[in-house]
Structure 1
């Protein structure tokens, strides 16, 4: 099945501004076999996390999903030129690792990130240091690996004189995601590269969502690390074992995603919450929920959330709760009391200009 990784948002939709800082410090390196020297600029770039409102797992099988960026939680990439002949060094700051590019292969995510950029620009290994940090929890269903890759790709490109388009960032990030997750749907790299709320169907151009009413979400971390690859493989095994039952669940999820889009674009937040709750029931039926997720979901609902569900692959990670301003504090307190390791707030801002641009 073809995966849409290099396509733009449909209907000429507006593109979010990329978060970036370009420093004035620069270095130069010689391109072997030529008389050329290239400037390397000091650059900082970032990319957001993401959450899925509806459509986890079913999106892998051609059903639609709704995903939104979490712009308040980001991964950061900082490129700094180094002395001539030092080569490229990658520092995964949060992991306490410093690795020269020559010690990595393209079969490793960090090695592939740099290799893809150098191949796209057709330049040899530059003399620079790439520092990577992230606010996003690893294994939390918020696209941490895709955000790190997208930030690094943007920073490396800019440092070497090229501003990659969101479509280019998405396509390269997808290749890195394949190493991490095996057969990703393409939704993470798409929503993170474009930093737009999208309606996504695998193999089709993503469509921007016309959000008419601001949406407030709380994101709560179970503290249970989860593997996207493991969760996807689990659903695949269940599909092979019980094809009729599982296919019916996946199709139902697809119907919910269509209905959720309509509710969101009409500002019907109570209806959206109900659909999120139904989606959670189907995810639990698939076997990808977790007792910690179930506890946080129930706590949010009991405290007044319009809807609550896991987000991402499940089996741990994070859940989301759709809340109103009047219940925001109560739901946050309930999640903390129920044992959430962290609670974050994010919002989907209204963007009715899409009606005028389509």
Structure 2
């Protein structure tokens, strides 16, 4: 008997998936109308679903006990708590936009680490949305599903996230990075296949507990908005790289200056990385990763010792470049390495973590993969 039948007593109608993501470069420019360059991971959240006619949604997770049920008629922000708030939020936002979905049984399964900064929440929202739409053969543009998922996380779950994670989960394609211009709301698929060049992209979860995340994220966002207001621009994206020195000289607060310097230089690094990838020069992107990490560490101040040690160790062991990825204060690093050096670099990181008394890290496959889809 299948796990779905064990939970719900009926056969499923189909399964849908949405992947996690890492951002190659462009960290923390999203709320400044910036540029980002994520890839979708092969790690994913899968929703197996069946339709029901009583207006209820029942959700179960392989990692949680029991089944949680709620009525579509009574959905409102705050009405469903904890992890089930994400599938509830996806249903709520679809109803808000008048999509004619109905009740459903949803089994959530995942090989995507929670809390690693790999966008498991966005993947869960996107997977739920495509499953609920798919049960009724409703076709929606992937970018629109991404926007709906962002609204669900903002308005139902209450997390002030940007749009990058959802766009990556919905719109990435295999063998490419997604060049997403947030101000223009445009995307371009940039070839990114490290294996074709004898390279690998390592994702290392440093297993560091997230520290002071909510207040620190808010402080950085406020600093960016404060600096933009002082400079008379709608967002820091409006400051050209060539104008950076002049802009910094006009700011009175040193913290604001460093935050501005990170955002403006990070946007330039995205532009440079895209140009190099289009030219087929992937190895030259490595130093941009490393420069990005230094900026995130020194100017944006969102790294922690585990992230810094992982990056420094990877570089010392021969990585072409390395940086933290995600929100910071824990999570993961990515490292661009020669494929033949993968085991050497991972062994070096393990040893360095043991020497520092850190929790043993884990590594993930970072093959650039496709966005959300139906799989059965």
> TM bucket by the smaller chain?
0.7 to 0.9
1:335 aligns with 2:349: yes
Greater displacement, 113-122 / 247-256: 113-122
Q: Which structure 1 residue ranges, 5 or more long, are not aligned?
A: 1-22, 24-39, 350-358
Matches of 1:289 and 1:335, distance apart in 2: 17
Query: CA 1:181–1:300 in structure 2 vs 1: closer, same or farther (change >3 Å)?
Result: farther
State the superposition RMSD in angstroms: 2.7
Q: Which moved more, 1:196-205 or 1:73-82?
A: 196-205
- Normalization by structure 2: what TM-score? 0.74
Question: Size of the alignment, in residue pairs?
Answer: 309
1:314 counterpart = 2:290: no
Q: Is residue 48–residue 195 contact of structure 1 (8 Å, CA) maintained in 2?
A: no
Q: 2:365 aligns with which of 342, 345, 348?
A: 345
Q: Alpha carbons of 1:238 and 1:59: their partners in 2 closer, same or farther (altered >3 Å)? A: same
CA contact (8 A) 1:225 1:316 kept: yes
- State the partner residue of 2:372: none
In structure 2, relative to structure 1, the CA distance for the partners of 1:48 and 1:168 (3 Å cut) is: same
State the SS of the aligned residue for 2:107: strand
- Aligned residue runs from structure 1 range 17-166, under 5 A: 42-70=13-41, 72-82=42-52, 85=54, 87-96=56-65, 98-102=67-71, 105-107=76-78, 108-120=85-97, 122-123=99-100, 125-126=102-103, 128-166=104-142
Q: CA deviation at 1:94?
A: 2.0
Distance 1:210 1:110, change over 3 A: closer
TM-aligned CA distance change 1:46 to 1:328, over 3 Å: same
- Cα displacement (A) at 1:165: 2.6
Instruction: Report SS of the residue matched to 1:218.
Output: strand
Residue 164 of structure 1 and its aligned partner are, at CA, apart by 2.9
**Who is 2:210 aligned against?**
226
Instruction: Give me the TM-score of the superposition, normalised by structure 1.
Output: 0.78
1:329 to partner: Cα distance:
2.0
Give the gaps of 5 or more residues in structure 2. 5-10, 79-84, 227-252, 354-359, 370-376
Q: CA deviation at 1:229?
A: 4.5
SS of 1:264 mapped into structure 2: helix
Structure 1: distance between partners of 2:120 and 2:306: 21
Q: CA deviation at 1:333?
A: 2.1
Q: How big is the shift at 1:341?
A: 2.7
Corresponding position of 2:291? 278
Could you tell me how far 1:104 is from its partner in structure 2? 5.5
Aligned mates of 2:207, 2:192 — CA distance in 1: 33
